[in-house]
Amino acid sequence: MSSGFHLATVIRREMLSPGMVRLIFGGEGLRQFRSTGIGDEYLRLFFSDPATGELALPLIDERGRWTYPEGPSKVRCSTYTVRWIDRDREEIAIDFVVHDGGMASDWAVRAKPGDSITINNPRALYMPPDDTSWQLMVADAAGLPALARIVEEMPRSVPTRVFIEVTEPSHEQALVFGSHVTVTWLHGGNGHAPSKLEEAVRRVPLPDGPGYVWAAAEQKVVRAIRKYVRQELKMPVLRYELVGYWVDKQNEWTSRWEALDPEVRKRIEAAWASDRDPEDVRDEVDATFDKLGL
């Protein structure tokens, strides 16, 4: 297998809740797997074409960029967090939200020991400045694995407020955090009901001093939180990492995007391709998406 990609074999599985299954991967294919050591590190799982059985992978150029000789549509992949890594046993765990119609979720629900899948080396986003004196961490079910690992591995000297939204109480997990962490479980969102995460973020009193806000959830939820953090709290970009992990009603969203006036789509794509400040571009694109209901 080409450099940067690894064959991961299912060793065992665990049902964490009715809404989440954990697969533990190992095997010789993971001996060259390189972790970033950062709690929200993520990788891609690459799936074979169900009709032909062929596996299409991107090529990695000399600058580490992915290229797609056959076109990106040929590559079937999904992005997931590395929940934990055991370097001695050469094992990694990945948690999957159980839901209908998801390529990776469907595979994970059916997966059994001995099944294999191709993954790549991970990347990460969580980078609080060294002087961070408090944190606010926010996630829905999709962001829960990353949030949990971050909080488990971060210094216990940083007081941290956590909001986690799952569909219902039975989907909560028995997470073990230190006394520096205050956790509130919310129920709703996740494509089943309106999310309560933005309201929770707006209502929580924030401490004085330099802080850090991290959020991973559905893209519209994160967009609203980002607008509050950036435009109302005026937090500088180094003080937050706010990531849309998934899109509610993805097929409907894609259809609406493809039905847009081509000039609107070209303007959005040109903005992302420009050399402007990415955060300014995101402000502009987010405002456009809000206006269009995307």
- Per-residue pLDDT tens digits for 48-82: 888 888 888 888 777 777 777 766 667 889 999 99
Mean pLDDT of 216-238: 97
**Residue 95: CB partners within 8 Å, gap ≥ 6?**
16, 20, 21, 22, 80, 81, 83, 144, 145
Q: What are the structural domains of the chain?
A: 5-120 (2.40.30.10), 125-248 (3.40.50.80), 249-294 (no CATH)
pLDDT digit string, tens, across residues 134-175: 999 999 999 999 999 999 999 899 999 999 999 999 999 999
Backbone angles phi, psi at 243, to 5 degrees: -125, 130
Say which range, 61-75, 82-96, 194-208, 277-291, has the weakest mean pLDDT. 61-75
φ, ψ for residue 177, nearest 5 deg? -115, 165
Say yes or no to pLDDT of 2 above 80: no
Question: Please, how many CA atoms are within 13 Å of residue 154, restricted to the half-sphere of its CB?
Answer: 29
Question: For residue 277, is pLDDT > 60?
Answer: yes
* CB crowding 177-190: b at 16 or more within 10 Å, else e: eeeebeeeebbebb
Q: Give the pLDDT band (50/70/90) at residue 211.
A: very high
Q: What is the pLDDT of residue 105?
A: 93
Per-residue pLDDT reduced to its tens digit, 88-116: 999 999 999 998 878 999 999 999 999 99
Q: What integer is the mean pLDDT of 120-136? A: 96
What mean pLDDT comes out for the span 228-247? Answer: 97
Query: Three-state SS string across 102-125, please?
Result: CHHHHHHHHCCCCCEEEEECCECC
30 pLDDT band (50/70/90 cuts)? very high
pTM as predicted:
0.93
What average pLDDT does the structure give for the chain?
Answer: 93
| 2 vs 279: CA distance, rounded Å | 34
- The Cα-based distances of 116 to 41, 57, 87, 109, 206 in angstroms read 21, 15, 19, 14, 45
Q: How far apart are CA 97 and CA 105, in angstroms?
A: 6
Q: How confident is the model over 218-241, as a mean pLDDT?
A: 97
Pair 46, 68: CB distance under 8 Å? no
Task: Please report, rounded to a whole number, the percentage of residues in the chain having pLDDT higher than 70.
Answer: 97
According to the model, what pLDDT value does residue 41 have?
A: 98
CA atoms within 13 A on the CB side of 21: 16
Q: Is it the case that residue 187 has pLDDT exceeding 70? A: yes
DSSP β-bridge partners for residue 125: none
